[in-house]
Amino acid sequence: MTTTERDKMAAGEWYSCLDAELDALRNVARFAVHQHNTMPPGARGSMAPALRALLGCVAEDVFVEAPFHCAYGINIILGARVYLNVGCTILDSGTVRIGERCMLGPGVHIYCAEHHKDPILRAEGMEIARPVEIGDDVWIGGGAIIIGGVTIGNGAIVGAGAVVTKSVPAGAIVAGNPARPITRASAD
């Protein structure tokens, strides 16, 4: 039995992203993203039809502003009433689950791929896909970056511009680079 680079990617193993099958999948995503980003808002509605068809799973009342970008789309799962503001990018070589009622601010980026540390293997396209799990009722401020392998618990808040390299507990508020817990002001 032959294991493809796509199989390795899905299994969380090292794979080469310089693969014809993976390139074809990224090309399908480029066309869906292009349709979404260039359709008039009235025709596009909450999401262009090609993008909705591309994504792994989309619940009800999901709204994706344009422009939006994703690498594959097929690994993105969006819960009910998710809102992705303008300029969000999801590089979904791994599974990205975004729970219900989450809000992602402008320019939020989620990166699942970790490139190989060995420069020779990196030049050969070797990477590993790390999933991202975002619970329900999470608010991620504009310009935040979420690195692969991170889980963000229910009700957490990620401050604008934060770089999240470690998992965030439910209800926590994190900010900074790298993101660290902060306390709420008493006048919520």
Please give the tally of structural domains in the chain: 1
Write out the residue range of the structural domain in which residue 30 sits: 5-179
* Within-domain flag for 76: yes
pLDDT in tens, 99-121: 999 999 999 999 999 999 999 99
Residue at 10: amino acid letter: A
Active site (annotated) includes residue 116: no
In the chain, the percentage of residues whose pLDDT exceeds 90 is: 95
Is 185 inside a domain boundary?
no
Does residue 184 belong to any structural domain of this protein?
no
CATH of the domain at 165: 2.160.10.10
Q: Mean pLDDT over residues 133-142, rounded?
A: 98
Over residues 63-103, the pLDDT tens digits come to 999 999 999 999 999 999 999 999 999 999 999 999 999 99
Annotated catalytic residue within 34, 69, 109, 115: 115
Please tell me whether the overall predicted TM-score, pTM, comes out greater than 0.85 for this model.
Answer: yes
Tell me whether residue 188 is in a domain.
no
Whether 124 is in a domain gets the answer yes
Does the pLDDT value for residue 186 go beyond 60? no
187, part of any domain: no
Burial class (CB in 10 A: 0-12, 13-18, 19+), 79: buried
CA distance 40 to 37: 8
